[in-house]
Structure 1
Amino acid sequence: MQIHDYIVVGAGSAGCPLARGLSDDPDISVLLLEAGPHADRFWVHTPAGMAKLYFDRVRNWNFRTEPMPRLHDRQMYWPRGKMLGGSSAINGMVFIRGHPGDFDGWRARGNPGWGYDDVLPYFRAMERFERGGDAWRGGGGPLSVSDPVERMASSHAFIAAARALGVSPTEDMNGEVHDGVGFMQHSIRNGRRHSAYNAFVEPVRARPNLTIRTGCAVQRVLFDGRQAIGVEVRHGDGRMETIHAAREVILSAGSIKSPQMLMLSGIGPGEQLRRHGVTVLHDLPGVGRNLQDHFYVHTAFRATADSSYNARLSGWRKFREGLRYLATRKGCLALGSSQVAAFVKGKAEEPYADLQISFRPMTFNYHRDGQVAVDKYPGMGVSVYQLRPTATGTVTLASPDAADKPLLTPNFLTSAYDVETMIEGIRTIRRIMAAPPMASRVVAEEIPGPGIASDDQIHRFMEETGNSAHHQGGTARMGDDPLAVVDARLRVHGVERLRVADASIMPFLTSGNTNAPTIMIGVKAAAMIRQDAVPRRPIARAQAET
């Protein structure tokens, strides 16, 4: 019988730091399970390789939503990482912690220990910021956080234009001042992607108390009464395996897979589980509810030649750029997905910024065959999303088979408040792009184009083209109310020895890209689990000693 003290399900943004933190104690045995393969590939390590991984059939779950009535019945594509590192191995590498008010809001919703002053030490401990540490930033942690290796003149112009309109500057949006406009930071180290796996697990993978297994798709959590005792795993050849946990099972499979695993294990809305023939262990109605995501709208502007690096990634020049990257780990291929962010208010009554506007000095399109084509003309891309959407959706079972993807219903644009906020976001983009010195770099607005002017027209444009920022969260949210799934220690309500630690536990989304706070959740979870130190189950202890 295979027995480990802790089984961590999912080697992604939260699972990797969680496994690292638990295995820091040599007396604790940790098993880290990942459904996908290893991540040692050139395009995984190369920042610009995110475009190559967007539709990858091996290292990506390739989820799709249900048809969305408010978006002309479109099905939206939701990529999620399926390899060591999870989504931190395929994302845009943007590192944004979120606003302090986000975490204070989590604490105010019945989650002691999750206010900003509570989580700040974990943020500082996990990062190695290239400018060094201070009261706000960490300088010696495992995860490298860096400024853009190259800053385009148009990026400086965007910042100057936003400031001309009254947006305050911030030199470090992960430091003392979050709201405002400034350059983004990225989880990039020496020109290479620094995923959660690279940062937290790869340096310690030789530890004798840490076992890492890939190609292991967890089907369900196993129970003895109401105590989690292990997991059932399916291998690629169809072989099933049972693995036991002497202490706890922790689900870190993400905001889509973690609630699915809970439901397949008999924990979730009882009526739904019975409909699929799943035996109800604990009727927990909040599982799969509260699905949140940042609804994303993209705009594009034709630019002057010196304002865009489209030409450097087209034709023969892209080969020169590739050689430059191989020789120096610099240039366009070493950059994250966006350069600049402006955190601004779309609604005056909001206590802090509720819109993120992101600028990149390039434009491109994804094609259905998986290819990414950089536009042939010089272009600048600007996107916006609402930071705290009021509409929520659901993750529900499609069948009792873990191999079947769950049904994803995000309910985008079903809230009038959200629609109004996003319309203001697009108008804010236009104001910034029309302000000096940015105005002199804009040749024409390509998307949506000057013909889309009224609120109704902008609304239709959002319905037709709006997408996901791929920041799903909240589907196993933390709290002490009837719809909460885990408590403030991340223990699943109604059962024992089972926790969830990933973005699904967020009561509401953070202000910005969600990878950094998800990593923090894993780091903090490891510390809490070690503090709680539940004893080994007697039968497991006896078998281990034998």
Structure 2
Amino acid sequence: MDSYDYIIVGAGSSGCVVASRLSEDPEIRVLLLEAGPSMDDFWINTPAGMARLFASDRFNWRFKTAPVATLNGRQVQWDRGKGLGGSSSINGMIYMRGQPGDYDRWASLGNPGWGWNDVLPYFKRSENNARGSSAHHGVGGPLWVTDPVEVHPCAHDFITACANAGIPRSSDLNAPPYPAAGIRQYTIRDGQRHSAYKAFIEPVRQRSNLTVQTGVQVTKVLLDGDEACGVEVHQAGQRRTITARCEIVLSAGALASPQLLMLSGIGDAAQLRRHGIEPRHSLPGVGLNLQDHWYASFVWRCTPGSSVNHRLSGLRKYLEGARYLLTHGGCLALGAAPVTAYARSRPDAEVDLQLSLNPMSFSAGASGEVAADEYPGLSASVVLLSPASRGHMELASSNPLDAPLFHPAYFSDERDVRRQVAGLRLLRQIMQTAPMNTRVVEEIKPGLSCSSDEQLFDYLKQTGGTGWHPVGTCKMGNDEHSVVDAQLQVRGLRRLRVIDASIMPVIPTGNTNAPCIMIGEKGADMIRESRLAARSVAC
């Protein structure tokens, strides 16, 4: 029977950080388990390759939600990274933290130590920011945070149009004040994706006290009374047990961590019994509080000089590929839309919208692969950052290899409908504002005939999609539906923590990858503090 001091389940954005930081102590034996494979692949390392990964069964779990009643029964594909680096190996590489008020709200919900001033040092510690050290950014950390290798003039015009529409320019979207419009930063190093694995594990994988195993599906956390003592795993058709002398950390993400708790008999007792699972510890909040960002995109035909579509189609796309191979520059070295604006859905609201512009437009083919449109096109999206709707997830069966059932309940709160429709109108207004209005020839999708609130909401439902940010299913707090406390320990159990996006009580008003890395940094510190306090007793 294998035994380690710490077992981390999931080599994603949080798990890689936890494993890297804990293994800095040579006296600690750390095991990092990942269900997927190694992700050393050309299209994963190439920033623009993310579009190809939506259809990949090898590197993408490609979960699907249950039919969503509020979307007329649509099932939505939830792409999640399958392999080392987790979703940081297939995402848009956007480095956005949200706003300071997000974390102050976490603290106000019964989570001391999670306010903005508490978490900012952890954001800074992980960074090696190309802009240098400042009050809001760090240098010398493992994770490279860089500016786009090129910024199309159209992006600068979008920022100017935002300013003319009342949204001020910003030189740093990861620092207040807000509302603000500016250029994004990315987790890209020398023209290649810098995933959590590349940043935190690959440089230290030679450590003798760090073991990384792929192709290992954890099927259950083993309990001895109220204490976690090991995990049961499925690997190469065999089941085996691995024990932990100190702690087990679930970093499998907001979709898999609650599933693993339920499979281990931790959750709502009635639901567990329906699947023939013996309840071991009652925590009715496991799987509740599911939140996600929803977005919808517009597409415009534009003047030829306003788009890079011509560089990504026909023979020119091969020239662009050669350019990338020779220089790691050009369009293939770019992450998702380079410019964005934080905005309000109404003048008296908190900042609750993210508007992003891309100097290109795409369409999906019958195979699901995405390609640039043949005409000069621009695309822009609206994300509702602070949805009031709450969904849940549940087991589909007691088989750990069956995907759970996800019920995101998008737009189940009427306020979300009004705010996102207002965001679509605001985006149109900005595109009709100088200087962007000189670049736009025609709105292609949805078209100006789609103008009423009802028509715009129908468009949201029919063509919108997930922001790829599911969180909250093992929320941190002290109420009856909280799953972990402010130390990220599973409530009522010992030696078991959850450290990933599932612990977020409220979704950040931004992208979630940077917050997940911060959670990994802070969670690792909490484990080390507990170890120091208990060294004379247990560990």
SS in 1 for 2:223: strand
- Report what 2:196 is aligned to: 196
Q: Does 1:251 align with 2:264?
A: no
- Report what 1:92 is aligned to: 92
- CA shift for structure 1 position 178: 5.0
Deviation by residue 1:320-341 (Cα, 9 ceiling, x = unmatched): 0001011111100000011111
SS in 1 for 2:248: strand
- CA shift for structure 1 position 347: 3.3
| Change in CA separation of 1:342 and 1:144 when aligned onto 2, cut-off 3 Å | same
- Identity across aligned pairs (percent)? 51
- CA shift for structure 1 position 123: 0.5
Amino acid aligned to 2:297? H
- CA shift for structure 1 position 413: 1.4
Deviation by residue 1:89-115 (Cα, 9 ceiling, x = unmatched): 000000001100000000000000100
Contact 1:490 1:525 in 2 (8 A): yes
Deviation by residue 1:393-425 (Cα, 9 ceiling, x = unmatched): 011000001100000000011111000000000
Q: Distance in 2 between matches of 1:267 and 1:405?
A: 17
Contact 1:269 1:286 in 2 (8 A): yes
- Report what 1:149 is aligned to: 149
- CA shift for structure 1 position 436: 0.4
- Report what 2:269 is aligned to: 270
- CA shift for structure 1 position 385: 1.1
Q: Which moved more, 1:173-182 or 1:334-343?
A: 173-182
1:89-488 to structure 2, matched below 5 A, reads: 89-177=89-177, 179-235=179-235, 237-350=236-349, 352-488=350-486
- Report what 2:78 is aligned to: 78
Q: Distance in 1 between matches of 2:478 and 2:415?
A: 27
Contact 1:127 1:144 in 2 (8 A): yes
| Change in CA separation of 1:262 and 1:367 when aligned onto 2, cut-off 3 Å | farther
- Report what 1:527 is aligned to: 525
Amino acid aligned to 1:7? I
- Report what 2:10 is aligned to: 10
Q: Distance in 2 between matches of 1:179 and 1:515?
A: 21
- CA shift for structure 1 position 460: 1.2
SS in 2 for 1:354: strand
Q: Distance in 2 between matches of 1:44 and 1:366?
A: 19
Q: TM-score, normalised by structure 2?
A: 0.98
SS in 1 for 2:70: helix
- CA shift for structure 1 position 511: 1.1
- Report what 1:544 is aligned to: none
Q: Distance in 2 between matches of 1:496 and 1:241?
A: 22
Contact 1:59 1:83 in 2 (8 A): yes
Deviation by residue 1:173-219 (Cα, 9 ceiling, x = unmatched): 11343530000110001100000000000000000110000000000
Contact 1:183 1:339 in 2 (8 A): yes
- CA shift for structure 1 position 500: 0.3
For these two proteins, the number of residue pairs brought into alignment is 538
Contact 1:247 1:535 in 2 (8 A): no
Q: Distance in 2 between matches of 1:35 and 1:179?
A: 40
Contact 1:392 1:411 in 2 (8 A): yes
Q: TM-score, normalised by structure 1?
A: 0.97
Contact 1:246 1:536 in 2 (8 A): no
What's the RMSD between the two structures over aligned residues?
A: 1.3
Contact 1:136 1:176 in 2 (8 A): no
Deviation by residue 1:237-264 (Cα, 9 ceiling, x = unmatched): 3111110000010000000000000100
SS in 1 for 2:314: coil
- Report what 2:500 is aligned to: 502
Q: Distance in 1 between matches of 2:179 and 2:515?
A: 17
Deviation by residue 1:417-468 (Cα, 9 ceiling, x = unmatched): 0000000000010000000000000010111110000111111111211210
Q: Distance in 1 between matches of 2:71 and 2:458?
A: 9
Q: Distance in 2 between matches of 1:233 and 1:366?
A: 38
- CA shift for structure 1 position 63: 0.2
- Report what 1:489 is aligned to: 487
Q: Distance in 1 between matches of 2:456 and 2:536?
A: 59
Contact 1:231 1:243 in 2 (8 A): yes
- CA shift for structure 1 position 370: 3.5
Q: Distance in 2 between matches of 1:298 and 1:5?
A: 47
Contact 2:309 2:360 in 1 (8 A): yes
Q: Distance in 2 between matches of 1:57 and 1:198?
A: 21
SS in 2 for 1:245: strand
Q: Distance in 2 between matches of 1:7 and 1:142?
A: 22
Q: Distance in 1 between matches of 2:177 and 2:184?
A: 13
SS in 2 for 1:17: helix
Deviation by residue 1:125-148 (Cα, 9 ceiling, x = unmatched): 000000111111001110000111
- CA shift for structure 1 position 161: 0.4
Contact 2:178 2:351 in 1 (8 A): no
Amino acid aligned to 1:448? P
Q: Distance in 1 between matches of 2:286 and 2:348?
A: 31
Q: Distance in 2 between matches of 1:27 and 1:370?
A: 48
| Change in CA separation of 1:367 and 1:231 when aligned onto 2, cut-off 3 Å | farther
Amino acid aligned to 2:474? A
Q: Distance in 1 between matches of 2:310 and 2:390?
A: 40
SS in 1 for 2:254: helix
SS in 2 for 1:504: helix
Gaps of 5+ in 1: 542-546
Q: Distance in 2 between matches of 1:384 and 1:35?
A: 33
Q: Distance in 2 between matches of 1:522 and 1:470?
A: 19
Q: Distance in 2 between matches of 1:433 and 1:371?
A: 28
Gaps of 5+ in 2: none
- Report what 1:39 is aligned to: 39
Q: Distance in 2 between matches of 1:522 and 1:368?
A: 39
Q: Distance in 2 between matches of 1:177 and 1:137?
A: 15
